[in-house]
Amino acid sequence: MIRILSILVGLFFTVALAWSFGNGAYQAITEPAAPTAEHEFHKHPKELELASNGAFGKFDKAQLQRGFQVYKEVCSACHSLRLVAFRDLKQLGYNDDEVKAIAAGFQVPGLDPATGEANTRPGLATDYFPKPFANDIAARAANNNAVPPDLSLMTKARHDGAAYVYSLLTGYQNQPAELLKKFPDSKTGPGLHYNPYFANLNLAMAPPLTAEGQVTFGDGTKSTVSQMAKDVSAFLVWTAEPKLEKRHQTGWPVLLFLLFATVLGNLAYRNVWRNEKH
């Protein structure tokens, strides 16, 4: 009796699931969803070639240093790098004295040793990059009620990674007349900025890179908006995956070893069982 009830219950749920799927498919075909501005005007990220791309990719340290400079002088005003310590910058080619100088240029939370009260102090190489705002309330108050995301893992958290960041930074523009004509209610609101590479087309973040020469690169590279966006995108690839080069260097020998072991195992199998009949 219990077995029969179990079969009936299972059959009921199977039929219910099949009916739901069929009904949903029928409605999707006969009553397609209304077109939206986001669906029609959202763009896929632009192509972005970086030295770190591909299975043999390596970081361009000069580019990473330029990208860090863009982050420091532009992005750090709103965005944190909570998973990156100042000492990690040695991987970009900075020496100990340079790392200490960079760290000292930031104010990090601390405690007064005499009173135990909270205060701020110059950063040390062992400190992590500080948050630009005390809390989310302060962040929202300064950014049109939006909390700027932490950038440590941004290129891992977004589809197309560095290309998405680059496209977003270089994609600010006026709303197309076609969009406003087709979707009059989609006009960008106060404090928002149209960007077709953002999911809902409107960003609370104002264009951070606005003019050529906004950042003066130490190596003499011309700092166009496109170049600054490309360099900071490369830098954020490093913050998200600082061991990328080591992973590439380790991965290929491991794959070659596995291939060799597979061939060796197959030959051993054939040698052991060659006289056996199947």
**Over the stretch 13-32, which tens digit does the pLDDT of each residue have?**
888 888 888 877 777 677 66
What pLDDT is attached to residue 272? 84
Give the pLDDT band (50/70/90) at residue 150. very high
The CATH number of whichever domain residue 139 belongs to comes to 1.10.760.10
Contact 153, 83 (CB under 8 A): yes
Domain count for the chain: 1
pTM above 0.85, yes or no: no
Tokens of 94: 């900075």
Higher pLDDT, 275 or 231: 231
Q: Quick count: other Cβ atoms within 10 Å of Cβ 274?
A: 7
Does the residue 31 lie in any domain? no
Q: Which residues contact 13 (CB under 8 A, 6 or more apart)?
A: none
Q: Is residue 156 part of a domain?
A: yes
pLDDT at residue 32, rounded to an integer: 66
Is 75 contained in some domain? yes
Answer for the pair 133, 123: CB distance below 8 angstroms, yes or no. Answer: no
Residue 278's pLDDT is: 55
Q: pLDDT, tens digit, for every residue of 98-134?
A: 999 999 999 998 877 778 788 889 999 999 999 999 8
Q: Is residue 220 part of a domain?
A: yes
Residue 169 in contact with residue 232, Cβ under 8 Å?
A: yes
Is 48 contained in some domain?
Answer: yes
pLDDT tens digits, 203-232: 999 999 999 999 999 999 999 999 999 999
Instruction: Tell me how far apart the alpha carbons of residues 45 and 22 are, in angstroms, rounded to a whole number.
Output: 35
145 domain residue, yes or no: yes
Q: How far apart are CA 253 and CA 251, in angstroms?
A: 6
Residue 139 lies in a domain: yes
Query: What range defines the domain where residue 170 resides?
Result: 42-84+129-177+209-246
Residues 160 and 156: their CA atoms lie apart, in Å, by 8
